[in-house]
Structure 1
Amino acid sequence: MGPLFIQGPKKMPSLKALVCLLILFNSTLVFAQNSQANQSGFKAISNLFIQGLYPEVLKALQNYNPKKKESRAEKEYFRGIAQSRLEQFDPATKSLKKALALGSKRADLYYEIGQAYYGNNDLAEAQKYFVLSAKSGFKPSISYYYVAYSSQILEDFQKAKKYYAEMLKQKDSTPEYLQIANYQLAEIFLELATKKDNTRELVKKHIIPRYDKAIAIDDKSRLSKDVVARKKEVIRRYRLDPNQLISGKMFPAKKYRLSISQAYKYDNNITLTTNLPTVQDTRKDSYIYETNANASYSFLFAQMYIITPELKLKYVKHSDRESPGVYEDDRYEIKPAIKQRLDHKLGSKPGSFTFDYKIDYAARDQYQLKSLSKYSQGRTWSVGEKIGFFKFGDSGVSYSNGTTEYHDSNLNFDLTSWTLTQTVIRPSGNLFLLMWNFSESRFHKAPTNDSDTTMLRVDYIVPKFANQYSFHVGFSVTFLKVLATLARTGTEKTYAPSIKLSKAVRPNVKLSVNYDYSKKVSDAGESNEYTKHVTGFEISANF
């Protein structure tokens, strides 16, 4: 039986087939190597990106050449993000939009394109992509915030209002976002309200409550402090605070003032004995006990007119009960007054016109009987004006005229006075007070006592330093011309420096120590000159 199948000899493969096989094998090997290299390169790029090394990311992407569409989309995405972080906004938008065109599925792609356009100040384009980001569910609150805020910048306040309202509806709105939205809504409402006739009413009814709502979300946040400051500014601008005067200044919330003080002083020349050696034995010193009480209450009308009834009381007693020349100056004083102030503006400068009327009643131990009886009574009216010409403090001018009648009619006189003042508030809060005063005293029955007095004074006050201390130093020079004796005495000068140090021991209680020095100089020589030192301690309380 013959063979069923006879197998012939095998044929060798042709050269062409062998070359094709080698090419196919090599291509497969190269593809596998490139795939591994691309995967390895992308991982390295991701690591650089995570570290924030964006220039290195861009450099590495130049050598990353994936074939797959989704990988090319990733390449453009990373390129765009790196460019955006490096503030290369124009190329960033191009790269990110390429990623979008290549079908990138990145959730934040719309948001990042919006950020790139926003950084490039192309706000209209940025808004489109932020809206798409919000609708896609990626950071809707902050996306709507950018739409709203950029609308504010473009002064499209209705659109801004719409998207801030959308921001408030989002579930991802944190307290921080809610606070921002309410604050910005208040700002938009304010901008819209300024175009209405009833701006002040709208601010009071809608805008201030919106500021309050923003503050209430988190009153401890940093933004809350800004909102509080802004609210106060708006309240001042539209005069919504009942205690705000039309000048812009504030009327004190506490309308009454009550203070009392007790001072203990030592005066080494209570009798003003001159410096002549022959009269030094007559010089008297004494301790002085001085009590003061002041009370006032202010009434405000129409946010511009203030009327303040005031009462000042003083009682003075000397420790030396053996020297009539000393204890004859024991006294009490009663000083009622009515002070009036009309606030206004001179252009944009705040100002106030004042009109005051006061009575000075004094009882004294004039007969050296160690009992007090009526000594004098005076009436003075004054008018004045204060204007904030300078940012550093008010400038003032005032005129006063008064008459004082004594138990001895020969002492009755009229006093006319002009005063200029300037306050200088330093950036530190410390202040200078500068004053010039000129007054004329004219006696009814004793013209030989007529005099003219000029005083220059400067005070420097440090309201607070070193744990509740305050410091006050002053210096004044008084020029006195007694007209009848001018040829003999010339212009007599009195130099009076003073210093006072105080410490608050309670919120309304203060302790003070002070020193005052006086030296009078006259062309008449020592017969008209004197010096004196007064040191003191005081405790005061304000209610």
Structure 2
Amino acid sequence: MNKYFVYFILLSLTIYSSTQAVFALSDSDKVFAQILYTFNSGDYQGALNKLNAIESKEFKPLAHYWKGICNSKLQKYDQAVNEYKTALELGATPLDIYYELGQAYYSMLDYKHAKESFKQSVLKRFKVSESFYYLGYMELSEENFEQAIRYTKQILEKEKVNSELNQAAYFQIGEAYLGNIEKNNKRITPEVRTTVTQYVLPMYDKALEEKTDNNLANQIYARKENVNQKYGIKRKAFYNGRPFPTKLTELYISEKISYDTNVLLESSDADQKATSKSSGVLNTNAYISTQAIHRSRVVFAPEFLFSHVRHLNRDNYQVYQNDTQAFLPGLKTTLEHRMFDRPASFHIDLVYNHTKRRVDVPADSSMKKYGNTISVSMSEKMEMVAGTNTAFKYFYKQFSAPDDTKSTRDNGLYLTHTIFKKTGQVYFIDLGLNVVDANNVTLSSDQIISRFTVLKPNSLFKFDTLYGLGITAKNMKKMKDTRGTEVTYSPFIILTKTYLNKWNVNFSYSFNKQTSKNKEVYAYNQSIFAAELKYMFF
């Protein structure tokens, strides 16, 4: 609210232009500074006392407005209403006054006057979506369901609305639909059940598409379960009780721009070297997948990813030879079942990767085949303890290159443990053992991989924040005398946010430090700064 103290002074200067008024404002600087300090410190009663001491008629309109703000903070809503009304009668015109007046009336359960105030806030173009939400909620409370739907739908037509408000809007529309159905139907008939399925449940599902890890989502899940039970609606769920995915098809395009301080010479884990050259990097991706569900037990999910990477440093061959085009068709198969009397799933994933790289020296040369990779993984995911998820995975990858000395085969075992907290935070613990068998036996290695990650939704700058640390220890076997056990430390942070359920923005920073006995060739530090914009068609 402190910005309105600035408005207080500036608006007073523009409205009262006489020399006497200007001098009066100049003499009052200390008073306003004290009020601002008192308000910001949370002493609203103290700020109110100082405002009551202002006698200048010129400042009375905005003084009454601010007394309304202080009384609202003190939850003295009847007094706040009187102050706002007096401020309006005296000609005060702060942009938010009708919104604040509506909030006070709403807190007093005076919905008639609250609705009038929020309508004025809409006309003033101040917090339009929030005002429509309150209007819809009050109409819902008064069982004016159709009007509640009309008001709340206005929120979803706005361009800049955060996902939390979108989620609340979808849920409120679902509640209004349900209220209208129950108002007009005293008995549960097959037709009523169909109407609930067609109108109410899809609104709950859309609300959950916005957010799944906050308190409102928990309420929606509970409400949805309650409605399903009340109306005898069989949930769309797998036989083990796990709900069907809300989206069966996914299609997106993305553009990522990053700055790499130390481009790695090889994309293969077997022989990564640093170029000591920096470069901007453009990464364009297009992805599509769809899921087919068979008898509520088996899911077939074909997918395809196209990826194009271009390095902006075109003066150094070691850098731009890492330009790539990759075509990755895949098939994911899931068998839903139960284990330890809880939902579980068995997965078989198959991915084929055909990669081209800029093999020739000229920066504008065409890309040529670099290699093909076949990856197969089998994993079992289970809920061993409530609020957690544990996955065991076996992974096999075969990379075949025209230069047969670069061909490798990987065999890996991985454990991933996920912990879901009621606060919305999620913790990921990953442990793995990977054995690399290279045709060039000197590049064969054993790798121990560990990673700890924390997800905090809506935290830093209201972005979902993902941060953690990865550590990989690599035993080079045949080259142990010269390279020793190489260890890579990889801290990272990612900020991500979704707008309008279509646009996703994320910013990331990662740092990689590899130690090696052969410091000149294999030890390096690397920082990568990146920003990515993704558009999700569905």
TM range (shorter): 0.5 to 0.7
Query: 1:318 aligned to 2:314?
Result: no
Which residue in the other structure is 2:531 paired with?
537
Identify if the C-alpha distance between structure 1 residues 488 and 225 changes in structure 2 by more than 3 Å, giving closer, same or farther: closer
Contact kept? 1:468, 1:504, Cα under 8 Å: no
Structure 1 residues 462-471 or 301-310, which shifts more? 462-471
Which structure is larger by alpha-carbon Rg, 1 or 2?
1
How far the C-alpha of 1:228 sits from its partner, in A, is 5.1
Question: Alignment partner for residue 429 of structure 1, among 409, 424, 427?
Answer: 424
Query: 1:504 aligned to 2:494?
Result: no
Query: 1:379 aligned to 2:377?
Result: no
How far the C-alpha of 1:347 sits from its partner, in A, is 4.0
1:167-316 counterparts in 2 under 5 A?
Answer: 229-233=225-229, 240-241=234-235, 243-271=236-264, 283-316=276-309
Identify if the C-alpha distance between structure 1 residues 519 and 428 changes in structure 2 by more than 3 Å, giving closer, same or farther: same
Partner Cα separation in structure 2 for residue 516 and residue 226 of structure 1: 39
Which residue in the other structure is 1:491 paired with?
485
Cα displacement string for residues 495-526 of structure 1 (whole angstroms, at most 9, x for unaligned residues): 00111112334321122221110101123445
Which residue in the other structure is 1:67 paired with?
none
Structure 1 residues 306-315 or 346-355, which shifts more? 346-355
Question: What amino acid is aligned across from residue 514 of structure 1 in structure 2?
Answer: S
Partner Cα separation in structure 1 for residue 414 and residue 484 of structure 2: 23
When the two chains are superposed, the root-mean-square deviation of aligned CA atoms in Å is 3.6
Which residue in the other structure is 1:392 paired with?
387
Contact kept? 1:272, 1:530, Cα under 8 Å: no
How far the C-alpha of 1:399 sits from its partner, in A, is 0.7
Partner Cα separation in structure 2 for residue 489 and residue 227 of structure 1: 59
The TM-score with structure 1 as length reference comes to 0.56
Question: What amino acid is aligned across from residue 241 of structure 2 in structure 1?
Answer: G
1:32-51 counterparts in 2 under 5 A?
Answer: none
Structure 1 residues 416-425 or 504-513, which shifts more? 504-513
Secondary structure at the aligned position of 1:381 is classed as: strand
Question: What amino acid is aligned across from residue 415 of structure 1 in structure 2?
Answer: D
1:79-228 counterparts in 2 under 5 A?
Answer: none
How far the C-alpha of 1:239 sits from its partner, in A, is 8.4
Which residue in the other structure is 1:440 paired with?
435
Identify if the C-alpha distance between structure 1 residues 365 and 206 changes in structure 2 by more than 3 Å, giving closer, same or farther: closer
Question: Alignment partner for residue 403 of structure 2, among 408, 416, 430?
Answer: 408
How far the C-alpha of 1:450 sits from its partner, in A, is 0.8
Contact kept? 2:493, 2:508, Cα under 8 Å: yes
Secondary structure at the aligned position of 1:421 is classed as: strand
Which residue in the other structure is 1:42 paired with?
none
Partner Cα separation in structure 2 for residue 288 and residue 389 of structure 1: 42
Identify if the C-alpha distance between structure 1 residues 482 and 294 changes in structure 2 by more than 3 Å, giving closer, same or farther: same
Cα displacement string for residues 117-165 of structure 1 (whole angstroms, at most 9, x for unaligned residues): xxxxxxxxxxxxxxxxxxxxxxxxxxxxxxxxxxxxxxxxxxxxxxxxx
Query: 1:472 aligned to 2:485?
Result: no
Cα displacement string for residues 63-114 of structure 1 (whole angstroms, at most 9, x for unaligned residues): xxxxxxxxxxxxxxxxxxxxxxxxxxxxxxxxxxxxxxxxxxxxxxxxxxxx
Identify if the C-alpha distance between structure 1 residues 468 and 248 changes in structure 2 by more than 3 Å, giving closer, same or farther: farther
Identify if the C-alpha distance between structure 1 residues 464 and 226 changes in structure 2 by more than 3 Å, giving closer, same or farther: closer
Secondary structure at the aligned position of 2:457 is classed as: strand
How far the C-alpha of 1:283 sits from its partner, in A, is 2.2
Cα displacement string for residues 183-221 of structure 1 (whole angstroms, at most 9, x for unaligned residues): 9x98xxxxxxxxxxxxxxxxx969967999xx99xx9xx
Identify if the C-alpha distance between structure 1 residues 269 and 307 changes in structure 2 by more than 3 Å, giving closer, same or farther: same
Partner Cα separation in structure 2 for residue 260 and residue 493 of structure 1: 35
What residue ranges of structure 1 are gaps of 5+ in the alignment? 1-175, 187-203, 274-279
How far the C-alpha of 1:249 sits from its partner, in A, is 1.3
Partner Cα separation in structure 1 for residue 296 and residue 221 of structure 2: 27
How far the C-alpha of 1:393 sits from its partner, in A, is 2.0
Partner Cα separation in structure 1 for residue 253 and residue 396 of structure 2: 29
Which residue in the other structure is 2:150 paired with?
none
Query: 1:513 aligned to 2:507?
Result: yes
Contact kept? 1:272, 1:283, Cα under 8 Å: no
Which structure has more relative contact order (CA 8 Å, sep 6+)? It is 2
Identify if the C-alpha distance between structure 1 residues 228 and 270 changes in structure 2 by more than 3 Å, giving closer, same or farther: closer
Question: What amino acid is aligned across from residue 530 of structure 1 in structure 2?
Answer: Y
Identify if the C-alpha distance between structure 1 residues 367 and 464 changes in structure 2 by more than 3 Å, giving closer, same or farther: same
What residue ranges of structure 2 are gaps of 5+ in the alignment? 1-178, 205-219, 267-272
How far the C-alpha of 1:294 sits from its partner, in A, is 1.2
Query: 1:459 aligned to 2:450?
Result: no
Question: Alignment partner for residue 327 of structure 1, among 311, 320, 324?
Answer: 320
Cα displacement string for residues 258-288 of structure 1 (whole angstroms, at most 9, x for unaligned residues): 1111011111111469xxxxxx996211110
Query: 1:368 aligned to 2:364?
Result: no
Question: What amino acid is aligned across from residue 439 of structure 1 in structure 2?
Answer: N
Count of residues in Structure 1 that have an aligned counterpart in Structure 2:
333
Contact kept? 1:208, 1:231, Cα under 8 Å: no
How far the C-alpha of 1:468 sits from its partner, in A, is 5.3
How far the C-alpha of 1:290 sits from its partner, in A, is 0.6
Contact kept? 1:211, 1:227, Cα under 8 Å: no
Which residue in the other structure is 1:119 paired with?
none
Partner Cα separation in structure 1 for residue 182 and residue 221 of structure 2: 12
Cα displacement string for residues 381-408 of structure 1 (whole angstroms, at most 9, x for unaligned residues): 2211101111112100011223110020
Partner Cα separation in structure 2 for residue 459 and residue 438 of structure 1: 18
Partner Cα separation in structure 2 for residue 239 and residue 383 of structure 1: 35
Question: What amino acid is aligned across from residue 232 of structure 1 in structure 2?
Answer: N
Question: What amino acid is aligned across from residue 399 of structure 2 in structure 1?
Answer: T
Identify if the C-alpha distance between structure 1 residues 490 and 367 changes in structure 2 by more than 3 Å, giving closer, same or farther: same
Question: What amino acid is aligned across from residue 340 of structure 1 in structure 2?
Answer: T
Secondary structure at the aligned position of 1:306 is classed as: strand
Cα displacement string for residues 378-433 of structure 1 (whole angstroms, at most 9, x for unaligned residues): 11222111011111121000112231100201111211111111111111112111
Secondary structure at the aligned position of 1:390 is classed as: coil
Contact kept? 2:417, 2:430, Cα under 8 Å: yes
Identify if the C-alpha distance between structure 1 residues 469 and 394 changes in structure 2 by more than 3 Å, giving closer, same or farther: same
Partner Cα separation in structure 2 for residue 226 and residue 240 of structure 1: 15
Partner Cα separation in structure 2 for residue 521 and residue 233 of structure 1: 59
How far the C-alpha of 1:246 sits from its partner, in A, is 1.3
Identify if the C-alpha distance between structure 1 residues 281 and 383 changes in structure 2 by more than 3 Å, giving closer, same or farther: closer
Question: What amino acid is aligned across from residue 310 of structure 1 in structure 2?
Answer: E
Query: 1:420 aligned to 2:415?
Result: yes
